[in-house]
Structure 1
Amino acid sequence: VARTLRRSLQAIPHVSGVNNHMGSLLTQQMLPMSWVMRELYRYPLYFVDSRTIANSVAGQVAAAYNVPTLTRDVFLDHEQTEEFVDQQFKLLIQKAKENGTAVGIGHPHKVTVDYLAKHLPELDKQGIAIATVSGLWAMRNGNLEMFAEGEKQPVTPMVARGKED
């Protein structure tokens, strides 16, 4: 797992973080998630847990490895109808207003892309802003930076913490 992840990360030199989406089996297992988080810590990268399974241990393991992490609040489009995406988008906005922030995850399905193209421009009128993962993490963590100044570098074997392959 670690070697595959390392090779994948090295193929994308300006990667900022990773997200699981079809990793339900992996995210419920402590040992494999430890391998993942150890790799993310080395570079350093953040982790977004899609929570594709209720008993995910990803956040717990990320915290143990000091990997910045966020967890999905709402899936926008696991049913691909405009009505469902609308319902989920409204739920996402409600959660953001109640909690100050919310993480929504969607796919590049036509219904989702079309819906978001129409409705994202309306968010400003509602006092809602789109944020990057690092910006959202900072809002939830007292405006701290995810990584120390100068710590974040392109992902290569030469700059990773602990250079063993």
Structure 2
Amino acid sequence: MSIVAILMGLAGWIGYEMGKEQASKRYHSTVTHYQRDIEKLRKKLKLPPASGTPKIQVKEGVRLKHPKLAIIIDDVAFASQVKTIRALPWAITPSIFPPTSRHPDTPKLAAKLDHYMIHLPMEAMHYNNPEDGTLTTESSNAEIDLRIRKLRHWFPQAHFINNHTGSKFTADMASMERFFPIAKRYGFVFIDSRTTPKTVVPRICKEYHDPYIARDVFLDNNPDIDYIQNQLKKAVRIAKSQGYAIAIGHPHASTLKALADSKSILKGIDVVYIDELYEKIR
């Protein structure tokens, strides 16, 4: 090999190593820049240090080995509803109301369950009969904190909250910016029931680098059993397409009957509790 070729090869190697070093410096400079921006944002929002909270990354294009479907039954408040839900041949997640004078025993119902979530009333655009303790767009940080602290006291094992009504609250950025970090601080994950197409929850989740988890299908806007099963088929199609889906229904007799008779519809789908689904996609 000629001396010229050796020198050319050596020069190329030196250039390559210098290029790697420069790229590494640029990379670390960029990472440091973003870390500083994140720290400024954390202080501005008065969030706890990142080391004290789990790091949850948004996952795009989740693909699971078997399509999974989480079915949530909202508005659960009474023992008879829980009994009927547990009798179904599927892993159904009841979403339980906080206690009020109309249904004071919901924490006792939850204490007997391994899998459940909290159905938190939030302000709607047009609804004249709100639940006691409904969070509104006028709720202050202190009021929201007190409400969420009570939820943690009543439901010590709960991990997930979804909204009851809430079309006004979840569309209001200022309200969600107050609510979201408080819910996280008490260890709750918020699942968007998507009661409005104007929901700002995806934007909030992106700010916090949390996965946006939301309802895909409402099962029973119409109480007809055929309608409910067609909605269930829609949920199955979504699950097969994107790897998972979330369907929400209510403890109506027709809804529970439709679910009980849907073995053929759910064939080939893993029906799982919401916490099991979350562990797969987060």
Q: Which moved further from structure 2: 75-84 or 64-73?
A: 64-73
Unaligned runs of 5+ in 1: 142-165
Q: Which among 175, 181, 192 is matched to residue 32 of structure 1? A: 175
| 1:6 aligns to 2:149 (yes or no) | yes
Deviation at 1:103, TM superposition (A): 0.7
Give the aligned CA root-mean-square deviation in angstroms: 1.9
Return the index of the structure with the highest Cα Rg.
2
Q: Which runs of no fewer than 5 residues in structure 2 stay unpaired?
A: 1-138
| Structure 1 residue 131, shift from structure 2 partner | 1.9
1:106 aligns with 2:249: yes
Partner residue of 1:115?
Answer: 258
Q: In the alignment, does 2:195 pair up with 1:52?
A: yes
Q: Secondary structure at the match of 2:198?
A: coil
Matched letter for residue 106 of structure 1: G
Q: Corresponding residue for 1:82?
A: 225
Distance across 2 between alignment mates of 1:8 and 1:67:
21
Out of 13, 16, 21, the position equivalent to 2:159 is 16
Q: Does 1:139 align with 2:248?
A: no
Cα distance in 1 between the residues matched to 2:281 and 2:161: 18
Q: Give the number of the structure whose residues are more often strand, by fraction.
A: 2
Equivalent residue letter for 1:44: G
Equivalent residue in structure 2 for 1:62, among 182, 205, 211: 205
Check 1:67–1:43 CA distance in 2 against 1; reply closer, same or farther (3 A cut): farther
Distance 1:67 1:10 in 2: 24
Q: Which amino acid aligns with 2:278?
A: W
CA contact (8 A) 2:232 2:265 kept: no
- Once the two structures are TM-superposed, the CA of residue 10 in structure 1 deviates from its matched residue by 2.1
Q: Report percent identity of matched pairs.
A: 31
TM-score (norm 2): 0.46
Question: What is the match of residue 73 of structure 1?
Answer: 216
Letter in 2 for 1:102: A
Deviation (angstroms), 1:43: 2.0
CA contact (8 A) 1:72 1:104 kept: yes
How many residues align? The count is 139
Equivalent residue letter for 1:139: K
Contact 2:219-2:232 within 8 A present in 1 as well: yes
Output the CA distance in 1 between the equivalents of 2:188 and 2:211. 8
Q: How far 1:20 sits from its partner (Å)?
A: 0.8
